[in-house]
Structure 1
């Protein structure tokens, strides 16, 4: 027993895993242990291997055994570290498919795109096993006959699920697993009321709740304490830090015109697609797209004014390599899993350390290395220290003068930026 405890401790230390809680199960050394320790069916392991999962990531090593042992889990790990598999695998192992008990697992996601993506991943992992896996679409939430609907696993955004609970009499009283994915974003987008509604509806006293997050604000900690009992807390790396696989760099551009010049210079020197480029608003996204249209760069833009189909087409082209550079905002990109992003460019300085972590986490996913470049101007200097702290915590070198800058004592509004556009305005005759 002492040797097993020591081995578990060495494994946690090696992978930067920090835990709190009692009687915490040992981490996985390999996915094969899912069979030997937990009796996982071979079909599920075959699907796992077929999807390219060879070795568990640090969060998977620790949090999967926690959930499989029947414990509630509060997990914090960098974006792209494989958190989705952590909650999908135990659900698919533990619930019985196609019974008449109604919904047995609910997964809440902050964005429609993330909910759709999670549904796709769940179906791939469950291939060959007869699970009813449903995505709560707008149509389903408004006109679904939930008394007759066959559903084992339901994936939804808070608003759509709350609507179905209030208007369509959806019954969640037999739910065995409740997952709040990207719980920091659920709070940031103001879904507290809807989350409360869902938690109350999931009234099974034996329910297992789990929260997943890339950052750990106080609001998420409070939520975890309010809905979970004796949960195991699992943190990979340092709290509120980025992946160490991402090479992070700050670039002083002086002004808005300087940023456009620096971007073009960066592309001229080494354009290594796919590149994800962040701006702070959809208006600026459109402006930058028009500027890059004059360059020999296969660029596209995604924003809230596009229809759902147009957004999907943009994402598909980016994934297929038809688009090299995709311009996006924080809101629209959140939760989209762009595999193989080589570089993230923060054209506009992120509004918070959490936003920075989520942005650059699009790169360096699933064990791959990546690069993150952040432009800043004179107006951005008061915000530099917050981002520099994240960089330093991730092992990146940061100039001493930046670390010596005063901390922000209260949240400042982002600077009002000059227009990106260098094009003459259209004059109506």
Structure 2
């Protein structure tokens, strides 16, 4: 990284910006400046901060039937939502701390090698098999016996994307539901996510896993259109965003009396961001005191660990070692752009490579996202844009169109950086690198962003566009944090850039498995 060392020695004024990624819109049925630490991901935005826009994208319900040979389906988005159809079962070891079991001398850590060992109801097993799980992943081997134990115990779980976290906490919920006559219309489990897009995705997974459970109802607690307001929530499982969920409980449209499981997906973000963190605390205060609290995420920064332990006291914890956080199979590159205009020009030149599969361009602010969308569309390049400024129903249309493949290139703020699983995404462009609002890199957000590609063992490409000493400093900090080497692309040789990018992207579309790829080296794939 000698070139980075040279670049970061030059001073540059830090630029800060924010993007309140509000989630607004309808109930589900089935950024360019970096957001800093002071930005809120609260799911409710004030009218003064949002401008409703109308999306013109149409959706369809096509299913992508492609899958890896003998692959399992992770609890990502499921095939019906064009999610990744392969489960990447990491070979990494996990550190497990068992607050209760470790106090009992001679009590070994329980783990399982098949779902049948869990004693699950036949209708739940059918749902698991429908999702093409043949055996538990490593995170599920460790987590499920603990999650399903009685009396219920809290859990804090960390594992990489594509290792079955979503399926694990949904399976726990389904086993704890009471379908007796007095409980059939009572909410009994609550799942909170940082965005409406992720909430809708989780809802779809829960519906598919619970398809064979007679009487199962799964509802969304996300902002709805005016004509739908005031409707009572009667689903046994509720998936929502914190602000809307809190509002529904307070307005007595969601009866929290019988809720026994609370799950926070992308928990580090939920607890770290000021707006969402406060809302999650308030929601928990409105729930029964003896609920089971489950926190799952791919990353848990040190600053969040203490808070998470207080939110889920006496929790069993499953964590990854620091060096195992980076995403396998993602070729991480950076492109040196002399000026800001060269940066945009380079993005346009990358467009042809973006449409080989599907691509996401991450930017810092809503304003710049809209500017790039309008400029590229005006120049004849078909791109879509997704930020919190769009009404919720229009956001649903946009993301569904992207899932179906109608839209190939999506410009997005951090609203789409976490948890979203779209199988066809083979290229992620960090037009703006994420920072912490204080001029330093935000490695966790970077990891979640690039994790939208290379999912479940596939290969993918992540390109960071840099311009000036500050962005080079961010690249250097990220590469040092994850102990990876980012390869520099030759700015003046677009034939070589195209060859490098297309080689990896085409390997991804062919369904190649990537085994412990070393960033900066040639892509060794196993066909």
| TM above 0.5 | yes
Q: Secondary structure at the match of 2:452?
A: coil
Q: Secondary structure at the match of 1:342?
A: strand
Counterpart for residue 230 of structure 2 = 143
Structure 1 gap segments, 5+ residues each? 1-11, 401-429
Question: Are 1:20 and 2:97 matched, yes or no?
Answer: yes
Question: Are 1:211 and 2:295 matched, yes or no?
Answer: yes
Counterpart for residue 139 of structure 2 = 59
Counterpart for residue 397 of structure 1 = 485
* Separation of aligned partners in 2, 1:128 and 1:56: 20
1:182-197 to structure 2, matched below 5 A, reads 182-186=266-270, 187-188=272-273, 190-197=275-282
Deviation, structure 1 residue 138 = 3.5
* Separation of aligned partners in 1, 2:418 and 2:122: 34
Q: Secondary structure at the match of 2:423?
A: coil
Counterpart for residue 133 of structure 1 = 218
Counterpart for residue 335 of structure 2 = 251
Counterpart for residue 495 of structure 2 = none
Q: Secondary structure at the match of 2:407?
A: coil
Q: 1:233 aligns with which of 299, 317, 322?
A: 317
Question: Are 1:261 and 2:349 matched, yes or no?
Answer: no
TM-score (norm 1): 0.79
Change beyond 3 A, Cα 1:345–1:98: farther
Change beyond 3 A, Cα 1:27–1:43: same
* Separation of aligned partners in 2, 1:319 and 1:235: 31
Change beyond 3 A, Cα 1:270–1:117: closer
* Separation of aligned partners in 2, 1:296 and 1:237: 46
Question: Are 1:88 and 2:178 matched, yes or no?
Answer: no
Q: Secondary structure at the match of 1:293?
A: helix
Regions of 4+ moved over 6 Å = none
Change beyond 3 A, Cα 1:195–1:305: closer
User: Does structure 2 retain, via aligned residues, the 8 Å contact 1:162–1:194?
Assistant: yes
* Separation of aligned partners in 2, 1:13 and 1:248: 19
Q: 1:34 aligns with which of 97, 103, 115?
A: 115
Deviation, structure 1 residue 117 = 1.8
* Separation of aligned partners in 1, 2:279 and 2:428: 32
Q: Secondary structure at the match of 2:457?
A: coil
* Separation of aligned partners in 1, 2:385 and 2:90: 42
Q: 2:262 aligns with which of 178, 199, 212?
A: 178
The structure with more helix, counted as a fraction of residues: 1
Deviation, structure 1 residue 90 = 1.1
Change beyond 3 A, Cα 1:169–1:224: same
Structure 1 residues 313-354: Cα deviation after superposition (integer angstroms, max 9, x where no partner): 222222222222111111255443323311111111122112
* Separation of aligned partners in 2, 1:227 and 1:24: 26
Counterpart for residue 410 of structure 1 = none
TM-score (norm 2): 0.65
Q: Secondary structure at the match of 1:191?
A: helix
User: Does structure 1 retain, via aligned residues, the 8 Å contact 2:162–2:455?
Assistant: yes
* Separation of aligned partners in 2, 1:47 and 1:330: 32
Deviation, structure 1 residue 285 = 1.2
Deviation, structure 1 residue 267 = 3.9
Q: 2:477 aligns with which of 362, 383, 386?
A: 386
User: Does structure 2 retain, via aligned residues, the 8 Å contact 1:173–1:204?
Assistant: no
Structure 1 residues 63-109: Cα deviation after superposition (integer angstroms, max 9, x where no partner): 22321224321012234443211200111123223552432211111
Change beyond 3 A, Cα 1:77–1:13: closer
Q: Secondary structure at the match of 1:190?
A: helix
Counterpart for residue 165 of structure 1 = 249
Structure 1 residues 141-172: Cα deviation after superposition (integer angstroms, max 9, x where no partner): 96244xxx533212221111211232327442
Counterpart for residue 50 of structure 1 = 130
Counterpart for residue 32 of structure 2 = none
Change beyond 3 A, Cα 1:225–1:263: same
Structure 2 gap segments, 5+ residues each? 1-88, 436-441, 489-527
User: Does structure 1 retain, via aligned residues, the 8 Å contact 2:156–2:295?
Assistant: yes
